[in-house]
Structure 1
Amino acid sequence: MNRNIMAGPVKRSVTIAGHQTSISLEPLFWDNLRAVAEECALPLNALIAQIDVERIAAPNPPNLASAIRLWLLDRLSSEKVGDNHSQ
């Protein structure tokens, strides 16, 4: 088992639309979020800002940390579905 998988949340400060905010995520989510940002050639703050825009547009928006976790899970699920269709 990955030693990061059961680590508790880590709080980090990010700037979204010129405003600083703190987000608490488990290291596993921070690692995956950074990897997606690199893959998309985006700064981490820019990716978080994009997720925040999607979150705000939702009918019942969750808090930002939950939105990030859900966004990452959805992305992972979509990639797995795509991989299964290409086989």
Structure 2
Amino acid sequence: MAQPDPFRFAPSNRRRLSAPGMRTFLAIADLWGLHDMQRRLVLGYPSQSTYHGWCKCAREHGGFTLDVDVLMRISAVLGIHQALAAPF
């Protein structure tokens, strides 16, 4: 079994991916008609203030760093969205 890449979850990589990942998540959540509670549940149920802070920073292209768990959840949503759009 291959060893995981130690730099994959480095803070610098997570910071680079956080804002674009969150903006993409918000766009998909809008398409799916998710309300705030559902969005927060998908992201691991952060507090309202934390969630809204992420949204504000993402929309303003600000810098912030999401936890690995949150980025993995966003990645799963992106994968589901992509799979739903794939022709059968």
Question: Could you say which structure has the higher strand fraction?
Answer: 1
Higher relative contact order, chain-length normalized (CA < 8 Å, sep 6+):
2
More helix by share: 2
What TM-score results when the alignment is normalised by the length of structure 1? 0.40
